[in-house]
Amino acid sequence: AVLYSGTSLSEELLSQRETSLERIQENVTDYRANNGVFDAESDTSQYTSLNENNPVVPCTPDDEVTFQFSDLGTSPQFVIGNEVLHLPVDVSYDIFKPLRFGKLNISSGISRSVVLKQLEDLWCRAIEECLDIPRKDFKFYRVILLVSDLIDRITCKDFMDILLQRLEFEAALLHQESVCATYGAGLSTACVVDVGEERTHICCVEDGMSNSNTRVTLQYGGNDITRFFYYLLKKVGFPYKTCSEDSIMDAGLLQKLKEKYCHFDMTVWGVAEEEVIIPYLGQGGMKFNVHFADELVYAPMGVFYPSSFCLPEDKSLMSGQETQPVMLEDIFDEANWSTEQSQQSKGATTATSKSNCGTDSPSSASVPSEILPEATKRLQGIQAGRILALDQAVHFSIDCTASSDMKKKLYSSVLLIGGGLAFSQAATILQLRLESSLPLLFSKGSDAVEVSSNPRELNPKMVSWRGGAVLAMLDSCQELWIEHQDWELFGVRLLRERALFVW
């Protein structure tokens, strides 16, 4: 729930946001008009004045508002999870997230080893407190590790080291989030759209294998929707004037308001009055009445107009599958072999030039060039100065597949998961936008596009975890577990043999 708002926004970004907001308003109005939904253009000044004139008042004892701050009586070295969100204002902890945007949060002031140690502490404490398994009993348990499709191999190795060497689990099984999402949904082929809090990842799974050519990451997610929602609330006179997106508890409040009230249901219109209670203010909490209108729809619609998020330049770039780093411990690693060949070639060329024997210089050994996936090459050509909307990125990912038949299958099986876009009617709106821009070749039939966000009535946040549970029960995977003793003997070489994806 920590939003990390960062620096102030430039005039250009604010102008782009206002332009995007106008386009969102036009889009919502057109949808309602085309579907016969009455759309009375509400006078925003009317409920803005209601909000501004609504004072924040103390809660009465009948409200029974309780807020439990984190217990820091023993001065713990670190706190995790909800304890961080409930820290008293006067404490001096540094808030740090080991993972950001799907990668290790390594900066100039924090080394890789420190981040991995913090991740170890976080996993250990979470398992002990949430699953009630003491660390001394980890050796009796096996663990399934789900990783991003774009994760690099060195990070995979580091994660396995934490699980098998530091935490000493009995065995571990490694697989990709997108593929496990299809397992959880009961699908073999799907375009998986994973909208998280900080980033959105899209890739196509074909017959149980993630296609690296189709992987696209957009650097926006649920947190950006929350920030945009707060911007819209301030425009209509949000009565909680001291609210700050940089505050931990205020960020949590905005997150809860977004999850509770925002939606994609275009048939809901008009002004609604809701009572909001802030339990951590004052002695018994504070409450106020806020008037909501179309801000509840406009905020999540930002994923289709990403300029509304005012992304700084270092976040606006999209990314695809990156080249994998050299694994020096893996003698069969092609990148490792290429590096050695290149070094030997340079050494031979230098020796020949120094000998000056009068013969023609032999040609250096050819070094295999890194072949980037097709999606990454195409992204490099379009990403400058442009941010793909969510529906455009789905089209882009599916278009990177090889055959027309596979593209048809993927359009008819789009899987929307993650907590960043877990709003009512989200799948319906994404499906309508995909249908409106569907290539003519695939537009035949009423079921040309189908988007599902709660397969088997599962929470979109839990689909991948459900798939991991299914994976653990498959007979075909029993021989792929990496035992604690084997990892100590053979290390990362086991991942080449037993990983369920191309290593």
Q: Is the pLDDT of residue 371 over 50?
A: no
Return the bridge partners of 452, or none: 415
Distance CA 333, CA 327 (A): 6
| Residue 447 Cα to chain centre, angstroms | 28
| pLDDT reported for residue 195 | 96
Answer with the residue of higher pLDDT: 145 or 324. 145
Beta-strand runs (E) in 239-369: 272-278, 286-292
Distance CA 338, CA 287 (A): 64
Band (64; pLDDT cuts 50, 70, 90): low
Residue for token digits 């040609």?
363
Give the burial class of 117: count Cβ atoms within 10 A of its Cβ; 0-12 exposed, 13-18 middle, 19 or more buried: middle
What is the per-residue pLDDT across 196-210, written as a single tens digit (0 to 9) for each? 999 999 999 999 999
**Residue 316 to residues 202, 312, 319, 386, 400: CA-CA distances in angstroms?**
16, 6, 10, 8, 21
**Residue 222 to residues 27, 49, 197, 328, 457: CA-CA distances in angstroms?**
21, 29, 4, 38, 22
The model carries a pTM of 0.85
- Residues with Cβ within 8 Å of residue 47, at least 6 apart in sequence: 236, 271, 291, 293
- Mean pLDDT, rounded, for 280-289: 76
Do residues 454 and 294 touch, judged by C-beta distance below 8 A?
no
Q: Residue 183 belongs to what H/E stretch?
A: helix 177-185
Q: What is the 3-state secondary structure (H, E, C) of 445-467?
A: CCCCCCEECCHHHCCHHHHHHHH
What one-letter code names the amino acid at 415?
L
- Max avg pLDDT among 29-33, 36-40, 245-249, 481-485: 481-485
Band (374; pLDDT cuts 50, 70, 90): low
Average pLDDT, the chain: 81
* H-type alpha helices, 37-152: 44-52, 82-85, 112-130
Q: Is the pLDDT of residue 3 over 60?
A: no
| pLDDT reported for residue 20 | 93
Band (360; pLDDT cuts 50, 70, 90): very low
Q: What are phi and psi of 175, to 5 degrees?
A: -155, 175
Lowest average pLDDT, out of 120-134, 153-167, 297-311, 488-502, goes to 488-502
Token pair listed for 11: 């005039």
Token pair listed for 329: 């411990």
Answer with the residue of higher pLDDT: 81 or 409. 409
Return the bridge partners of 57, or none: 287
Polymer length of the chain = 503
Of the candidates 215, 185, 172, 189, which has an alpha carbon nearest to the alpha carbon of residue 499? 172
| pLDDT reported for residue 246 | 83
| pLDDT reported for residue 445 | 65
What is the per-residue pLDDT across 79-89, written as a single tens digit (0 to 9) for each? 888 788 888 77
| pLDDT reported for residue 304 | 96
Q: Is the pLDDT of residue 259 over 90?
A: yes
Lowest average pLDDT, out of 303-312, 337-346, 464-473, goes to 337-346
Token pair listed for 127: 């398992």
Q: Residue 431 belongs to what H/E stretch?
A: helix 426-436
- Mean pLDDT, rounded, for 316-332: 56
Give the single-character DSSP code of 263: -
Distance CA 163, CA 157 (A): 10
For residue 404, give the 3-state DSSP assignment.
helix
Answer with the residue of higher pLDDT: 303 or 2. 303
The torsion angle over the Cα atoms of residues 184, 185, 188 and 189, rounded to 10 degrees, is -130
- Mean pLDDT, rounded, for 139-155: 92
| pLDDT reported for residue 38 | 63
| pLDDT reported for residue 351 | 41
Pairing of the two strands 414-417 and 190-195: parallel
User: Over the range 37-61, which residues count as b (16 or more CB within 10 Å of their CB) and which as e?
Assistant: eebeeeebeebbebbeebebeebee
Answer with the residue of higher pLDDT: 50 or 98. 98
Band (375; pLDDT cuts 50, 70, 90): low
